Structures are given as C-alpha cells and as structure tokens.
Chain A
Amino acid sequence: MEKVNRRKRRAEAVPADDIITLDNVTKSYSTGAPALNGVTLHIKKGEFVFIVGDSGSGKSTLIKLLLRELVPSDGTITVMGQDLGRMRHRNIPKFRRKLGIVFQDFRLLKDRNVYENVAFAQRIIQKSTRDIKKNVPSVLAMVGLAGKYKSKVTQLAGGEQQRVALARAIVNKPEILLADEPTGNLDPNNTWEIMKLMEQINLNGTTVIVVTHNREIVNAMHKRVITMKKGVVIHDEEEGEYHDEDE
C-alpha cells in the first residue's frame, strides 16, 4: 500500500506535460566533488533545449544520467514517466529505444555502410525487413544522404557522418533526441546544416536536448538555454543566450 502511495506521490510531483524531470539530483563519484549537485530541472514535451557550460560543469554526467548509463546518488530522474533510478537493467534497452542519441564522435559502426548503420537501429526494435526497406531510405532522404546509402561510413566527410548518426537516431521516431556536442567536430557550414535538421526534427514533435560549447548557434537559435557550472544550474532561460561561467 505504502509502495502504491509512494508511486502516486511521485506521479503527482511530475507535471503532466514534463517529459524529463530532475528533482534535486546529485551524482557523486568515489573521488572529488559531486559532478551534479542538487539539480532540479523540468523539460516539457516538444521543447528544444541547449545545455551549455565549460568542461567539468556536469553536462556529460547529466547526459549519462538521462541515458541511464549512470544512476543518481541522490534525487529522482523521471524520463517519459519512468523513474530511472528504479529502472531494472533488463528494461534499459527498451527505454533507450525511445531516445535518439547523437555523439560528437558520431559513433557509427565503421565496418558497415550508411544503410546498414541506420537499419541497425530498426533491427534492434525487430522491425520487419519490409519496414526497414521502407523507413531507412525515407530517413536518409530527409538528412540528404539518399544517394550515399551504399557508401562505407569511413568514406564520408564529418558532416555526412553526423547526418548518418542523426538518421540512425530518428529512424525509430524517438520521443527525445539527445545530442552531446553534435557539432564539435564539424565546420561552420555543416554545423548549421545539422542544427537545421535538429530544428526540423523538433518541429515534428520530438523533444531535442543539445549539449554544446558553440556560442554562435546557441545565440542564433533563440531556444531555451540551461547553463551549468560545477554541477549546478546557474541560468535557465527561455529564448536565452550563451553565458560564460563568470557572468
């Protein structure tokens, strides 16, 4: 009974339109100061959010917590209604299938071609071969790689590799797209191409969270900006700007 009540209280604590809630979250490692210290955040369904901050500010830890690669030392993280701290190991894959993930270093399967990399995400959710043959070309066309589906990913330029990663991230129609420094390895042209694609994905209803150092894109896009420093949120502004740590 107590368990049911606790669940009920937790459900009440998470506003209905929040897709991500961090409630007083602390993450400590065995040595040093906590990487996150009492962070509370609410991200609504369909939002586009930038998370900015210097190295060591806790951005990477935050992403790892949202991916359920780490569990909080204290506090509660609720993503799509699921308490990540209580999630069983066997349920993590199912949870991650609802997320799209993009990394700075692309993390593509290097020995496979463009098509196979994107199709792999569909294989994981056991889509039929017929569906895969329909969905993969469509998403590759969306990111502008329809003509390169047979290319080995190692033969592509950085911007193209990031598009493949983006295609793989969205092919399963995730509710949330998490991007960790997605433009960190790209030139300005490709940076803007990737950001436009992300905006388009966001307009289709997907919540987009971008961790970045890129002041220019943050200031130009006028989205919500969460600034972190030494494990705490120091600014959280709608249509915000990039703040330096000492501001």
Chain B
Amino acid sequence: MRMSSFLYTIGQGFKNLRRNRWYTLASIATISACLFLFGIFYSVVTNFQHVVKTAEEGVSVTVFFNEGTTEDVILATKSLIEKRPEVSKVDYISAADAWESFKTDYLGEYADGFTENPLEDSANLQIYLSDVSMQPALVTYLESIDTVRTVNRSEVTASTLSGINKLIAYVSFGIIAILFLVSIFLISNTVTIGISVRKEEINIMKYIGATDFFVRAPFVVEGIIIGIIGSLIPLVIIYFVYNRAAEFVALRFSMLNSILDILPVSQIFEALTPISIMIGVGIGFLGSVTTVRKHLHV
C-alpha cells in the first residue's frame, strides 16, 4: 500500500467521524455507558476482594508438636510446609517465645513465681494461607505428619471467607456476562444503524473497484477511534468519582477504616485502564469489521 493511500485511509477514518457525527456520538455514548458500568463494577469488586483477601491473610493454622520434638525437626517441617503453594507465610514460635507472649498477655508480675517454662512443649508453627479455601487440604496434610500433635484452626472463619470469595466470583461472572450481552446488543444496534445509512456509500465504492480492504479500512479506523474515546471517557469519570467516593467513605465511616481498606485509585487503574481500552478498541474493531462485511458482497 502506498504511503499516500495509507494516510488517506487514516484521514478518511477521522473525516468519517465528523461526517457522521450523530452516529459517532451515539456509538461513543453507548460504549462509554457500558464501560462506565463495567468500571464501577470492577472497582467495587476489586475492593471487595481486597477486603476479603486481607481478612484471609489474618487467618492462620497453628501446629503443635509431640513432646520431645526437637527444634531442628520443627524447622525442617517448617521448610516442607513453606513449599506448599497454598501457604503464604510460616512463623516459628519457640517454647520460650510462647511463654514470653503468654506471660505478657495473661500473667504480668505473677509470672515471677515460675522458675521453669511450663509451656516447654508449646513450640508451634503459625501458618498463613494465600488461599483460605485450601485450609482443609492443608490441615489433612499437617495431621498426617508423625511429629504433629495438634492442629488448631478456625474452620468457620475459613469456610465463611471461602464462601464469600466464591459468591463474589459467581456474582462478578454473572454481572459481567449480563453487562457484556447488553453492551453487544446496544453497540451492534448502533453500528448496524450507522452502517445501514452508509450502505449506499459502500456499494458505490465497490462498484467503482474498491477492494474490501480499501472499503473497510476507514470504517475500522473510525471504529477504533470511537472505541478509544468511548473507553477514555468513563475512565476519566471513574477516576474522579472513585477518589471522591474513597474520601467520602474514609471520612464518614472512619470507624470501619481498619476493615474497609479502600485501594488507591492508581492500583485500580493499573488493570482497569488497559482492560477498558482493549474492550473499547475490540468492540469498535469487531463492530465495524463485521457490519461492513455484510455489505461487501456487491
């Protein structure tokens, strides 16, 4: 393709936006509305997942060992447990640490009467999971180790968090699927109306010998530009709305700050920006390619 033809194609794409300004505005508005809903939903779900994740990270499983188990054996077991994929962190609490902690928490000055460590067999491992739903599997594994005496865990907390996580996944999937279908319906309607108006133009181009590529290219350029603009508008709106909402929650619900740790907007936008632009460009590209194709067989 000649450079001048390439530039002409790009130029026609931009000119088409102006020539069909109502169609352009309708398409941008449709894509923006769909991606705005998507962005809001994504922000809420990501924050919710973050809260659940933070709660999950606080859930630990404690492993106590048989009487007489040496520190070396416990540390070797620790290394084995650390290698498991569902484990995020393992802390070793020696008998001395356990006694110190107990003294501080419960005995205070009364602890002076003890000459020996009464918690001598209380050396333990505190295991934190990266995926709390894997807790039962981990416990089964831990209980199978010969030197392990007891495994303490909070089954209710783990199963509740795991349930919430599953629920979020199902609801997210459901809402995203509905949003996606609504978007496809709205966008294909808008594109179909826009293209049918220009069916004659496509016919003329074909009659005078334009290749499918030459006919399609300006429409594709136009679709991509509409997609980019249609994705940037909701991103800008969400950016400001999100910051405002985060400030509002932090001020009005300060007592929840320890649980409701709202993610910074930069962290949300790290993924939301490329996803939204890709969806916008994808919709613009596919919308123009598929609908122009219907009119190319002249």
Task: Give the B-binding residues of A (Cβ under 8 A).
Answer: 67, 69, 89-90, 93-97, 99, 101, 107-109, 111, 120-121, 123-126, 128-129, 168-169, 172
What class of interface size applies to chain B in its complex with A? Answer: 20 to 34
10 A-B pairs whose Cβ atoms sit less than 8 Å apart in the complex: A67-B207, A90-B211, A93-B214, A96-B209, A97-B208, A97-B209, A108-B204, A121-B209, A123-B5, A126-B5
Min CB–CB distance B13 → chain A (angstroms): 14
What number of residue pairs across chains A and B have CB atoms under 8 A from each other?
A: 53
Contacts of A107 in B (CB 8 A): 200, 203-204, 207
In the complex, A107→B200 CA distance in Å?
8
Q: How far is the CA of A111 from the CA of B218 in the complex (A)?
A: 15
Contacts of A126 in B (CB 8 A): 1-2, 4-5
- Cβ-defined contact, B200 with A124, below 8 A: no
CA distance A242 to B270 in the complex (A): 75
Give A107 to B207 CA distance when docked, in angstroms. Answer: 10
Is the C-beta of B8 less than 8 angstroms from some C-beta in chain A?
yes
CA distance A126 to B19 in the complex (A): 23
Once bound together, how far apart are the Cα atoms of A184 and B290, in whole Å? Answer: 36
Given the known A-B contacts A111-B19, A129-B4, are A124 and B207 also in contact in the complex, defined by CB atoms under 8 Å?
no
Contacts of A95 in B (CB 8 A): 209
Given known A-B contacts A126-B1, A128-B2, A101 and B8 have beta carbons under 8 A apart:
no
How many angstroms from the CA of A99 to the CA of B206 in the assembled complex?
A: 12
* Chain B binding surface SS class: helix
Kindly list chain B residues whose C-beta atoms are within 8 Å of the C-beta of A69: 298
A124 contacts B210, CB within 8 Å?
A: yes
Q: A69-B298, A107-B200, A111-B19 are in contact. Are A120 and B208 (CB under 8 A)?
A: yes
Docked pose: A69 CA to B209 CA in angstroms: 12
Indicate the member of B2, B204, B208 with the most A CB atoms within 10 Å.
B208
A66 to B205 Cα, complex, angstroms? 17
Contacts of A101 in B (CB 8 A): 207-208
Contact, CB under 8 Å: B209 / A93? yes
State the CA gap A2–B197 with chains docked (Å): 48
Could you say which residues of chain A place their CB within 8 Å of the CB of B212?
93
Q: Looking at the complex, which one of A67, A93, A128, A169 makes contact with B211 (CB distance below 8 Å)?
A: A93
Q: What is the chain B residue whose CB lies nearest that of A132?
A: B4
Q: Quick one: which of B136-195 are within 8 Å of A by CB? A: none
Closest chain A CB from B195 CB (angstroms): 15
7 additional contacts (CB under 8 A) given A95-B209, A111-B19: A96-B206, A97-B208, A99-B209, A121-B209, A124-B208, A124-B210, A125-B209
- Chain B residues near A124: list those with CB within 8 A: 205, 208-211, 214
Query: Which residues of the other chain, B, contact A120 by a CB distance below 8 angstroms?
Result: 205, 208
Residue of A nearest to B207 (CB): A101
Q: How far is the CA of A93 from the CA of B8 in the complex (A)?
A: 19
Q: How far is the CA of A95 from the CA of B212 in the complex (A)?
A: 14
| Complex CA distance for A97 and B208, rounded to whole angstroms | 6
* Bound Cα distance A209, B283 (Å): 45
Nearest 7 CB-CB pairs, A to B? Answer: A97-B209, A96-B209, A93-B211, A93-B209, A124-B210, A111-B19, A107-B204
Q: How far is the CB of A166 from chain B (nearest CB, A)?
A: 13
